[in-house]
Amino acid sequence: MKKTVTFGEIMLRLATMGYERFGQSNTLNATFGGGEANVAVSLANYGIPVSFVTRLPKNDIAKACTNELRGLGVDINDIIYGGDRIGIYYLETGAVSRASKVIYDRAHSSVSEITTGMIDWHKVFADAQWFHWTGITPAISQGAADVCLEALKVAKEMGITISCDLNYRKNLWKYGKRADEVMPSLVEYCDVILGNEEDAEKALLIKPEGVSVTDGKVNADAYLSVSKQIMQRFPNAKKVITTLRSSINANHNNWAGVLYDGKTLYKSREYQITHIVDRVGGGDSFMGGLIYGLQTYTGDDQKALDFAVAASCLKHTIYGDYNRVTVEEVEKLMGGDASGRVSR
């Protein structure tokens, strides 16, 4: 099987312990994470050959990061080196009615100072069949946006399937461009587009009608119009997928998804996630499951969607950015076994 390539920034994640607030915590737990790296780890767990591409400094923190990725089965040979620092994000985990909070410290990170020509994309894609990127990367800097476009042009030229998670992050768009000014020219290269209601509105100025994410209800049919609008605007798109999250509180979410192929709107079952351990990386785990499903269950979009939703449901039970689950565990939940009984 040919490999999947993901491109973006991986960061040092510093999280308060348990549910402590920033102002009361004397200890921060250090792990690594980032949207495209999270997808790569998911795919490696499922046995899909995957290469993660980024730019990192040459120091011990970056080495610890790449050693971890390698140990999780991700190919790091296409990573380039330069610059002075790895990006950092701080996480305070919310509880009940108090939302989680993220503070970014990623200005002047190595990947934010990347420029076109640094990566030989023809070489990177030589044995690839799929390329995945997210809206986080072009939000980091103009250089990162330019390199993302550079990669997309080569991937399209080489006939590689391209997927995008729109992933709007309001706190990142600080270099003078809005998401809706940059994202459309990148999204037009994509075959598979993933997002939620905020992503579509902020990145593409496309808004679903009659949608509320805070009333505890998921209305899948409300997203048919936005899926159709995306396909009309981006004719290369073959599938548009929407994650459906309704938040009852910080620990209790309802979770589902829909997939539109231009003719049929497929709907997943809805999961009630009542005791969330860590929701960061939930969308990335969905994307990883979706890429696996579309590559594995060829021609069965319903099963691919069901795998993605079940995989991301399980991610909410796992601490850290990465979804450390197996195909067997996901398929067990897909089959209806949510008992959580001890496996012995």
165-207 per-position pLDDT tens digit: 999 999 899 999 999 999 999 999 999 999 888 899 999 999 8
Nearest to 184 by CA among 232, 128, 241: 232
The one-letter amino acid code at 329 reads E
Separation of alpha carbons 259 and 271, rounded Å: 16
Whether residue 54 contacts residue 37, with contact meaning beta carbons closer than 8 Å, is answered with: yes
Q: Please, what are the domains in the chain? A: 3-334 (3.40.1190.20)
**Structure pTM?**
0.93
Angle ∠(316,62,167) on CA atoms, nearest 5: 40
Q: Is the pLDDT of residue 100 over 80?
A: yes
125-170 per-position pLDDT tens digit: 999 999 999 999 999 999 999 999 999 999 999 999 999 999 999 9
198-224: average pLDDT: 73
pLDDT at 220: 67
DSSP output for 104-135: EE-TT-TGGG--TTSS-HHHHTTTEEEEEEET
Residue 116: phi and psi, rounded to 5, are -60, 150
- Is residue 249 helix, strand or coil? strand
Q: Which burial class, exposed, middle or buried, applies to 20 when counting CB atoms under 10 A from its CB (0-12, 13-18, 19+)?
A: middle
Specify the pairing of strand 80-81 against strand 88-92. Answer: unpaired
- Is residue 233 helix, strand or coil? helix
86-113: average pLDDT: 94
Taking all residues of the chain, what is their mean pLDDT, rounded to a whole number? 93
Separation of alpha carbons 236 and 224, rounded Å: 18
pLDDT at 194: 96
Cα–Cα distances (Å) from 8 to 32, 34, 73, 80, 289, in that order, read 13, 8, 18, 12, 18
25-77 per-position pLDDT tens digit: 899 999 999 999 999 999 999 999 999 999 999 999 999 999 999 999 999 99
pLDDT at 213: 46
